[in-house]
Amino acid sequence: MSGHTTEESLRALLSQVHERLSSEGGSLDADSRKLLSTLVHDIDRALGKGGPRGVADAAGAHTPRLESLAVRFEADHPGLAEVVREIIDALARVGI
């Protein structure tokens, strides 16, 4: 997969997270909402600055937290958990 396609995929997934935060955000606990918002913002900002390589550098430390969030969301927010797992997969494609 090319870097450009991966970047587009990540942008689409981040957009899905933003949408789900808007629709399901009220039912998320404050810590989960804040952590997910921070992670999404960091990845989004890295995309704007350095493309997929910038994302790899910025998001590497976040992958374990994303995995933890996906597990936490599995029961109550399965759609959000699925999107988080797709982000993890997209990050893996850029070498994280």
pLDDT of 5 higher than 80: no
Looking at mean pLDDT, say which of 4-13, 14-23, 73-82 comes out highest.
73-82
In the chain, DSSP finds a helix count (H) and a strand count (E) of 4, 0
pLDDT of 1 higher than 80: no
- Give the Cα separation of 51 and 49 in Å (integer): 6
Higher local confidence (pLDDT), 57 or 33: 33
Per-residue tokens: 17: 């997270």
Task: Kindly provide the b/e burial profile for residues 59-68, where b requires at least 16 CB atoms within 10 angstroms of the residue's own CB.
Answer: beebeeebee
Q: What residues does each domain of the chain span? A: 3-93
pLDDT of residue 49: 66
Q: Which amino acid is at 17?
A: V
Indicate the pLDDT class of residue 34, thresholds 50, 70 and 90: confident
pLDDT of 43 higher than 50: yes
